[in-house]
Structure 1
Amino acid sequence: MNEKQMVGEKAVEYIKDGMVVGLGTGSTAYYTITKLGELVRNGFNIKGIPTSEQTAALAVEQGITLVDFKDVNQIDVAIDGADEFDADLNLIKGGGGALLREKIIANAASIFIVIADSSKGAKKLGAFPLPVEIVTFGADMTTKKIAELGCEPKLRLTGNQPFITDNGNYILDCDFKHIESPKEMELQLNKIPGVVENGLFVNMADRLITIENGELVEKTK
């Protein structure tokens, strides 16, 4: 069993029968969703709210019932991966292109559990280029304004064409090298007109499940 599978399946222990669950996007969340599908096929009853169209398709394939925000009062638990985390459980997310929906769902959840393999830990965030979702209108100007914060933004591509999010926007992958104050950077980015959301998840994770020295470990704020 690889590290992603270890942490992804461990998180399922926090899901109880009857819960509404935020379903993350990416290669680690894949193992959470497939494990949940196994439980559902054995009689487990949950409802899922997916963070992406990709996740929605996987959940349906696994037999998990999906619901919309309008159909529920709360999300009990959200489980999602991270591209980078620091000792304070601040995160960079968005490598899979779903950061906006991921942040909405994480913010709405009573408990937000992050699953990440040992390679994702960092003393300071920023080695992983920070994804920033921007509207297509005025994208060049928005990119210039973001660059003024001290990074090199690159438009994410699929082949030769811009990558388009599930929300119809672009993503800029912004190389900051390291981010001294994630909270301040989050606020500065979101003040720029044209920025929809950024991949800094500050003070949002309630629990981190990761691997240290080959063993599962859990960390809380």
Structure 2
Amino acid sequence: MTAATPTTQDELKALVGRAALDYIGHGRIIGIGTGSTVNCFIDALAQQRERIIGAVSSSEATTQRLRAHGIRVFDANEVEELEVYIDGADEIDPRGFMIKGGGAALTREKIVAAQARRFVCIADQSKWVEVLGRFPLPVEVIPMAAQRIIRQFAALGGTARVRLRDGAPLVTDNGQHILDVTGLAITDPPAFESMVNDWPGVVTVGVFAHQRAHVCLLGTPEGVRTITFDGPGR
């Protein structure tokens, strides 16, 4: 009997979560990101957790899920280099540049990605775009700078709003706030990332161009499409 073709977004996420296991070596420490697609990967990894020594986590939520599965979590400062970093994306383009931060973990995600030799992005096909910017761009900011940074995005044609949770500004794992920016088409992600990172008060912008993906495992109804990104951009 043939397996049913995955069609729902949840089924596609589970498909790429399982596929990412092929990128994990035995006896290594790996980096793990945050989000619903990553949760599918963690649940698949839990069935083979003896393959790895442990993981460096990009968020408190991921840490809790890993520990619940009996997977050891290392502090980033305990590990010099990671074999691979597995994470999702809110958008990914044909050059491997991404928008990330829908789960408010962008700063720690970027830190862990910078420690890894290889970034494997797992995503369903709805995340594939030609130009970044359709998904609201997350920017982690120091709260006292929020209104000035909102005005700086307005000067670029973007509309930035403070992300709220239960009517109050969401507070990240780092104690900061998130702006979500709409109305931008990010045609030069590396230059845009560098520019916004230089604005006083910005902790991290959710464009991942300097830490772009090496490989994308894209879930489609036809199966997992493996896309490898070559050339400059890191």
TM-score between the two structures when normalised by the length of structure 1: 0.95
Q: Does 1:53 align with 2:60?
A: yes
Moved more, 183-192 or 2-11: 183-192
Partner of 2:34: 25
Measure the CA separation in 2 of the matches of 1:139 and 1:45: 41
2:218 is equivalent to residue 210 of structure 1? yes
Is contact 1:146-1:192 (8 Å) kept? no
Where does 1:127-142 land on structure 2 (aligned, <5 Å)? 127-142=134-149
Q: Give runs of ≥4 in structure 1 deviating > 4 Å.
A: none
SS in 1 for 2:31: strand
Structure 1 letter corresponding to 2:56: I
Structure-1 separation of matches of 2:68 and 2:82: 21
CA contact under 8 A between 2:76 and 2:112: conserved in structure 1? no
The correspondence of residues 114-153 of structure 1 with structure 2, limited to 5 A, is: 114-153=121-160
Q: Does 1:4 align with 2:9?
A: no
Aligned positions, number: 219
Q: How far, CA to CA, are the matches of 1:144 and 1:182 in structure 2?
A: 20
Q: 90-99 vs 183-192, which deviates more?
A: 183-192
The one-letter code matched in structure 2 to 1:29 is: V
Give matches, 1:59-98, under 5 Å.
59-98=66-105
1:59 alignment partner AA: L
TM-score (norm 2): 0.90
Return the letter of the residue paired with 1:191: D
* Whole-Å separation in 2 of the counterparts to 1:34 and 1:175: 33
State the distance in 2 between where 1:120 and 1:170 align: 24
Contact residue 93 and residue 132 of structure 2 kept, 8 A? yes
Structure 2: how far apart are the matches of 1:112 and 1:122? 19
Q: Gapped runs of 5+ residues in structure 1?
A: none
> Does the Cα contact within 8 Å between 1:21 and 1:75 map onto a contact in 2?
yes
**Offset at 1:18?**
1.1
Task: Note the alpha carbon deviations across 1:83-105, whole angstroms, 9 max, x for none.
Answer: 00111111000000000000111
Q: Are the structure 2 counterparts of residues 157 and 215 from structure 1 closer, same or farther at C-alpha, using a change threshold of 3 Å?
A: same
Deviation at 1:213?
A: 4.8
1:127 and 1:181 mapped to 2: Cα distance?
A: 15
1:211 counterpart letter in structure 2: G
Percent of residue pairs identical: 38
The alignment yields a C-alpha RMSD, in angstroms, of 1.3
Q: Which runs of 5+ in 2 are unaligned?
A: 1-5, 230-234
Distance verdict in 2 for CA 1:125–1:110, change over 3 Å: same
In 2, distance between residues paired with 1:119 and 1:209?
Answer: 13
Amino acid across the alignment from 2:128: G
Aligned equivalents of 1:82, 1:155: Cα separation in 2: 21
Whether the 8 Å CA contact 2:12–2:220 is kept in 1: the answer is no
